[in-house]
Amino acid sequence: MQPTIEPTTLRNSRTDDPVGRTLLDDLIELASYYRGRGLDGCELTDTELRFLVGLIRYRFSPPEGTILSQRGHIMVFGGAGAGKSTTSNILSGTECAEVNSQAGYTRHPTAIYLPSDGDPPETWPDKLGDLRCCDRAQPGSLDADRFSTRVPDSNPVDPEFLRAFVVWDCPDLTTRDSTHYVGRVVEIAALADLCVYVASDERYNDELPTAFLQAVLAAGKPTLVVLTKVSEFDAEELVSLFRQQVLARMRCSELVLDVYPVPTPLRGKIGELWTSAFPHGARLRGSVRESLVDLAGVRASAAEQAIRYVADREDSLLKPLASDVGHWRAWAELVRRSAHTAITRYEAEYLDRWQGEDFSQSHELLLRAMAPGRANYVWRTLEYLRVPYRILKTMTARYMDRGSVGGVDESALLESIREHLYDSLVLAVATRRASDPFWEALHSDLLKREELAMDAVFRDRHAQQTRLLRSRSREAIQKLEERLAESAWFVRVLQAARLLLDVAAIAGAIYVGYLWSEGFHLWIMVLVLAAVGIVDDLVRLACHAVVRRQREEIIATQKQNIRELIQSAYVDVLTRLPKGLGERLERLSGLCSRIPQSLRILSRQLSAGRPAGDSP
Amino acid sequence: MTAVSDQGLLQQIQAVRLAIDEILNLLDSSPVTPFSGKDVAELRAAVGELRIRLEELDAEPATLTVVLMGGTGVGKSTLLNAIAGERIAQSGIVRPTTQFSTVYHHADLKLDLLPAPFRHCRNIAHHRDDLRHKVLIDTPDMDGSVVEHHERLREILPAADAVLYVGSGEKYHDLAGWKILREQARSRGFAFLLNKWDRCLASHDESTGTPPDEDFRRSLRDAGFESPLLFRVCGRQWEARRVDGKTDFEPIPDDFADLCRWLEAELDDRAIRDIKARGIAGELDHILSMLGRMTPPDWSRKAQSLRMQWEGALRTRLADHARLLVEAADSQSVELERHFGLIGRQGIGGIFGVYLRLFDRIMHLPGLLLPFSSATAKSEMQRIAERCLDAIPPTTRQTHRDALREHLLALADREGWPIEPLGACMTLDEYDETSSPLADGALSAALAAELVSLERDYTSPEGGRRVLQILVRFLCYWLPWVVLAGIGVSLIYSFSNWTMWGFGELFSSALLLAATIAGLHLLLVWAFPVNWEALRGRLFQRLENHLVGRLAPTYTQALERLAGKLSTERQRLSGAHGVLKGVRDHLRRMEGESASSLFSRFRVDHR
């Protein structure tokens, strides 16, 4: 019975699905992030993560290697010493897996198969996830993540079986070192089309192996259960016990195809278990063949179940990332708020009070342009007339103009603002330190202030900007000067207008005074003095309005500059912390929404029964 | 016979009780030392276990509690049946078999003397003298899929003196058991059983590789047991032989006889005492290493270095504050100048006095519109100081305050100080977090005080300036009179000559008087400079000294207060540490060779 599958269509329908690919890429990125981060204290474990990634990988974008798509893969798994290798041998009908009395002897998954005669010959992928293909000839370290392939030396009982399927003999799940290599089993579990769960009389209700069995079933893998080391008399009772105690409590237990006891043969005859002298091999192979007749169908329904499985674990899968992203966002918000405080402080304590010596220059320039000069007698007289008003004004002004706390040293202020920015952040992070490793990492990074090079960058750029600003305001004055020099007639008109204004004011004052008092009195003089002074002030105000535009422009530029400076020298640098993580989290934050979205699309496609590649 | 026969040890045990009470009190009293939550929880758990062990010591006669521990199906119950020679625990093929613990003890033993966790178990009494002072406990599994069983085992374990770790060919180094083994090895005697030895033999015949017992030994050595005490047994055959009385099978060679001898004869009273002492010493080792890790460094030395840093920071930061205040005083410069002017000229009467008052009125003509009270100098200064402070926007004041506080705390944080209690210590009022040493009230008071002292110096100078002042006052009073008198004399003189003064004479004499007064005014301005620029520099100097001298200590005192609390806590911890260490050393000295040889020797330093 050869499984009827069309490899090409199967491959295409899987690998060309863009959503599946995106999902896989996202998951791989997530996994690599979690590997660097560590999953201590999380609901999600490394093993589960690897399983989830594997399920998606082998369903939507399996590695190159025709043997993966063309053959059914059978995984043999179970607790230490339960007899996995023995079962592998029974299944493949030859002594191929090394049976050892040492518990936890097998450390790497081994694929047992016979090469088929097809043309072109089947190929193995270089890697299954993180597992590298390694021939037995090269003895690798026990700790290396690898798998090996093995072709039996002796002739198996049923060679056709090993030409149609691959039997994976896996390491155990229970010994003290198993935490190091349970990931390898998980990788094969994700790949397998059918699982064989091996449990001994001692082990059949152990926590870890049954939990693994549950995961495999929930992920949609059809499973055969083999109970080993039972005596002939207990076999039936054990099977029913297993059904009652283990399977009855499990979800998806309908995927368990059969519970099959393999009684221990008499002493010295264990080696005969996989020969044709015992019926177990043939019966197991029969079950496998029967359930994998429609490999494509099995895979399709497994794919659907796998998507559902991953979608069910979406929360625990994304929780560590979401929590990190949350912390990072809180941190970025802290930085932004501190930067905002710094900018506000700069504006309130410096910019708003900034007089700017350059503006008084252009002010003077305008006033001077309007004055016809000392040579003009009318002007000189007017200047004398203005003196009493000015004296009075100066005396009053001391009482009017108060509250200007001026003369702030800009660089000193900036220094103190920067210190405050840094101190407040250090403090905010220090108080959160105990809550999460994120803040701890942030704290230690933040204390390496010199390495962050924020202050030096700020100082350099600020000096540069100040120079630029100075030269710009100088340019503006020069431009004004040039314009005044160029248009001499305009200056003349201005001067004439100003004189006219003064004369008109004097005339008006005399006229008003004359009308009221019906004759010339001394206080008409006072009125004239006031009028001249007021006109002078009005002209000054007008000039001021012209100059103010220039000043406001420069202040706005300065505000913008400082804002950008703090953004580039502080906010950008600080939000990239903790080192190597900040930036990454910014990028990864998209996964929190993209992964659930991909999962929803995929499950909709699969339940609609359409080939996954059809829809956009 | 008692576990702790000598009085010295009893006293020491009492000391241990006091020491752990001290530790718990410290932990409960919300300490300022920044202990990590994990450490505290671990320490509490360890102290709790130690208490149970101490309780056991009170039991008389001392009994050794031996717990059988292992995975499901390894044959714990079978073994207990085999050892007891009767069917006391149920064994079978259902996994997990045993649900509750069974206590197998001598009939003479008063059950209420047993540690609390054992009192609620099913108990079976026997009359075997060789097991008189030993209690054997069969426990549920720790690796089956019924999680409640693992918890039951966890409840029992703290009260165990010794553990018989049972493994089978399949399960001798399973993860679940290994975790517990690693945790418990330090404070309990361990012996190991490799059960189902018959199966191991059978499967080893068929396969290659290391035999299970060798592999088990190797694993144990990896876990830190130098010479693991390992018995290879086949519980099934002994259960069949001793309980069911079957003898019609070929015996399988194993170490069961050794196990029984060891349990019955070798574990004598002395060994029991030793193993108990060793268990307590093991617990103490653990607690001591935790205390060693948790004991904070010597803060008083660190306080010294931080204090230096703080003083530097305070000097510069408070100078900034003084600058801010002086700048704020700029806004009140006119009032201040006038005030100082008035004060300085007080008491100058005569013509010049009249002139000065007139001049002041004219110069401050617009100021008449503003409220100007002639109250006492002090309240006037207070008023001016408050107005100065108002000239600084409240947000700026707050920011400067926060900046200083945060800078100091950031410095402390860099040195590893716990900043939360430090921040709390830094307020003036322990219950009001907003009361800062740099509150508005304190600042305006400082400003007012320095203005008053400046005024005092101004009005009553010392030394040369004082002489100068008296001289100038004298001149100011008398010179106009002299000039006027001169003019009068010359007028009388001219009258006596019957010549009337013309306009020229009158003008020139008025000019002379005016010139005199102007000259005196210049002299006054020179001798009593009332211009703000001159006052400003002096005010800054004084304010800086005031802030650094009076307000800075509030901060450094906070540091010292915290350092004091920290060192008290440190002393309490190290005191408890010392007591516990003394008892531990005593127990270690007392510990005979028997305990080490009767159980697997565990390297204490093994991590």
A510-545 per-position pLDDT tens digit: 888 888 777 667 778 888 888 888 888 888 888 888
Q: Which residue of B has its CA nearest to A246?
A: B145
Distance from CA of A492 to the nearest CA of B (A): 39
**Beta-carbon contacts of residue B167 (< 8 Å; ≥ 6 apart):** B70, B71, B74, B173, B174, B177, B192, B193, B194, B195, B216
**Beta-carbon contacts of residue A42 (< 8 Å; ≥ 6 apart):** A316, A319, A320
Q: Using CB atoms, which residue from A205, A341, A404 is nearest to B72?
A: A205
A274 touching B (Cβ < 8 Å): no
pLDDT of B414 over the 90 cut? no
B60-87 per-position pLDDT tens digit: 667 888 999 998 888 888 999 998 888 8
Contacts of A433 in chain B (CB under 8 A): none
B479-527 per-position pLDDT tens digit: 888 988 998 898 888 888 877 777 877 888 888 888 888 888 888 777 7
Of A125-129, B59-63, B189-193, B337-341, give the range with the top mean pLDDT: B189-193
B221-239 per-position pLDDT tens digit: 988 888 888 999 998 899 8
- Give Cα separations from B523 to A261, B284, B464, B527 (angstroms): 122, 87, 16, 6
Is A80's CB within 8 Å of B171's CB? yes
Contacts of A338 in chain B (CB under 8 A): none
Distance from CA of A349 to the nearest CA of B (A): 8
SS3 assignment, position B175: helix
Q: Which site among A405, A419, A432, A446 would you substitute to test the B interface, given the most B Cβ atoms closer than 10 Å to its Cβ?
A: A405
Q: Of A111-115, A491-495, B215-219, which range is least confident?
A: A491-495
Q: Which two tokens stand for residue B177?
A: 């058991």
Distance from CA of B528 to the nearest CA of A (A): 22
Is A208's CB within 8 Å of B143's CB? yes
First-to-final CA distance of chain B: 36
Distance from CA of A87 to the nearest CA of B (A): 14
Tell me, what's the pLDDT at A339?
92
Amino acid at the residue B516: T
- Give mean pLDDT, residues A557-586: 85
Q: Which residue of B has its CA nearest to A348?
A: B396
> How many A/B residue pairs have CB atoms within 8 Å?
185
For chain A, percent of residues with pLDDT exceeding 70: 90
Distance CA B404, CA B402 (A): 5
B315-346 per-position pLDDT tens digit: 988 888 888 888 888 777 777 777 777 776 76
Is B204's CB within 8 Å of A101's CB? yes
Is A427's CB within 8 Å of B395's CB? no
Residue B61 preceded by cis peptide, ω within 30: yes
Tell me, what's the pLDDT at B377?
52
Distance from CA of B440 to the nearest CA of A (A): 17
pLDDT of A407 over the 60 cut? no
pTM for the whole thing?
0.79
Q: Which residue of B has its CA nearest to A234?
A: B93
Length of chain B equals 607
Distance CA B225, CA B599 (A): 10
Q: Which residues partner with A146 through β-bridges?
A: A132
Q: Which residue of A has its CA nearest to B168?
A: A202
> Which stretches does DSSP call E strand in A247-331?
256-263
Is B93's CB within 8 Å of A241's CB? yes
Distance from CA of B215 to the nearest CA of A (A): 7
Contacts of B397 in chain A (CB under 8 A): none
pLDDT of B541 over the 80 cut? yes
pLDDT-derived band at A5 (thresholds 50, 70, 90) equals: very low
Q: Which site among A173, A207, A401 would you substitute to test the B interface, given the most B Cβ atoms closer than 10 Å to its Cβ?
A: A207
Contacts of A434 in chain B (CB under 8 A): 36-37
Distance from CA of A448 to the nearest CA of B (A): 10
Distance from CA of A309 to the nearest CA of B (A): 22
A206 touching B (Cβ < 8 Å): yes
Neighbour-count burial of B271, counting CB atoms closer than 10 A to its CB (0-12 exposed, 13-18 middle, 19+ buried) = buried
With contact defined as beta carbons under 8 Å apart, do B576 and B19 qualify?
A: yes
Q: Using CB atoms, which residue from B199, B403, B413 is nearest to A426?
A: B413
- Give mean pLDDT, residues B152-177: 88
pLDDT of A118 over the 80 cut? no
With contact defined as beta carbons under 8 Å apart, do A490 and A366 qualify?
A: no
> Pick from B257, B218, B223, B217: which is nearest to B237 by CA?
B257
A175 touching B (Cβ < 8 Å): yes
Report residue B546: phi and psi, to 5°: -60, -50
> Which stretches does DSSP call E strand in B432-516?
none
> Pick from B167, B16, B136: which is nearest to B64 by CA?
B136
Do β-strands A127-128 and A146-150 pair in parallel, antiparallel, or remain unpaired?
unpaired
Match 């910019």 to its residue by tokens: A351
A41 touching B (Cβ < 8 Å): no
DSSP letter string, B104-158: EEETTS-GGGS-HHHHTSEEEEE--GGGTTEEEEE---SSBS-HHHHHHHHHHGG
- Give mean pLDDT, residues A269-279: 80
Q: Which two tokens stand for residue A301?
A: 């329904």
Distance CA A92, CA A292 (A): 16
Is A422's CB within 8 Å of B410's CB? yes
A135 touching B (Cβ < 8 Å): no
Tell me, what's the pLDDT at A141?
63
Q: Which two tokens stand for residue B317?
A: 């930061």
Q: Which site among A102, A420, A424 would you substitute to test the B interface, given the most B Cβ atoms closer than 10 Å to its Cβ?
A: A102
Distance CA B122, CA B116 (A): 13
Q: Using CB atoms, which residue from B174, B328, B419 is nearest to A427?
A: B419
Contacts of A419 in chain B (CB under 8 A): 403, 407
A300-339 per-position pLDDT tens digit: 888 888 888 999 999 999 999 999 999 999 999 999 999 9
Contacts of A201 in chain B (CB under 8 A): 73, 93, 95
Q: Which site among B36, B77, B143, B145 would you substitute to test the A interface, given the most A Cβ atoms closer than 10 Å to its Cβ?
A: B145
Do β-strands B189-194 and B162-167 pair in parallel, antiparallel, or remain unpaired?
parallel
Q: Which residue of B has its CA nearest to A83?
A: B170
Q: Which two tokens stand for residue A476?
A: 């503006």
Distance CA B549, CA B547 (A): 5
Q: Of A201-210, B2-11, B97-106, which range is least confident?
A: B2-11
Contacts of A81 in chain B (CB under 8 A): 169-171
Q: Which two tokens stand for residue B471?
A: 């001289």
B40-58 per-position pLDDT tens digit: 998 998 888 888 888 777 6
Give A342's Cβ-side CA count (13 Å radius). 28
Q: Using CB atoms, which residue from B210, B327, B370 is nearest to A102?
A: B210
DSSP letter string, A382-423: HHHHHHHHHHHHHHHHHHHS--------HHHHHHHHHHHHHH
Q: Which site among B149, B170, B180, B333 would you substitute to test the A interface, given the most A Cβ atoms closer than 10 Å to its Cβ?
A: B170
Contacts of B402 in chain A (CB under 8 A): 420, 424
- Mean pLDDT, chain A, rounded, equals 83
Distance from CA of B517 to the nearest CA of A (A): 22
Distance CA B250, CA B242 (A): 15
Is B169's CB within 8 Å of A424's CB? no
Nearest 5 degrees, angle CA B320-CA A424-CA A415? Answer: 40
Do β-strands B134-138 and B64-70 pair in parallel, antiparallel, or remain unpaired?
parallel
pLDDT-derived band at A154 (thresholds 50, 70, 90) equals: confident
Distance from CA of A400 to the nearest CA of B (A): 10
B111-134 per-position pLDDT tens digit: 777 777 787 788 888 888 888 888
Distance CA A146, CA A109 (A): 8
- Give mean pLDDT, residues A142-156: 83
Distance from CA of B584 to the nearest CA of A (A): 32
User: Crossing angle of helices A377-400/A522-566, nearest 10°?
Assistant: 60
pLDDT of B159 over the 50 cut? yes
A102 touching B (Cβ < 8 Å): yes
With contact defined as beta carbons under 8 Å apart, do A14 and A62 qualify?
A: yes
pLDDT of B95 over the 80 cut? yes
With contact defined as beta carbons under 8 Å apart, do A166 and A111 qualify?
A: yes
Q: Enter the ipTM.
A: 0.76
A101 touching B (Cβ < 8 Å): yes
Tell me, what's the pLDDT at A104?
77
Contacts of B319 in chain A (CB under 8 A): none
Contacts of B366 in chain A (CB under 8 A): 395-396, 399
Do β-strands B601-602 and B225-227 pair in parallel, antiparallel, or remain unpaired?
antiparallel
Distance CA A22, CA A45 (A): 23
A201 touching B (Cβ < 8 Å): yes
Chain A, 351 to 370: residues with Cβ < 8 Å from chain B are none
Q: Which two tokens stand for residue A407?
A: 């003369």
Distance CA B157, CA B283 (A): 13
Tell me, what's the pLDDT at A12?
40
pLDDT of A232 over the 60 cut? yes
A447 touching B (Cβ < 8 Å): yes
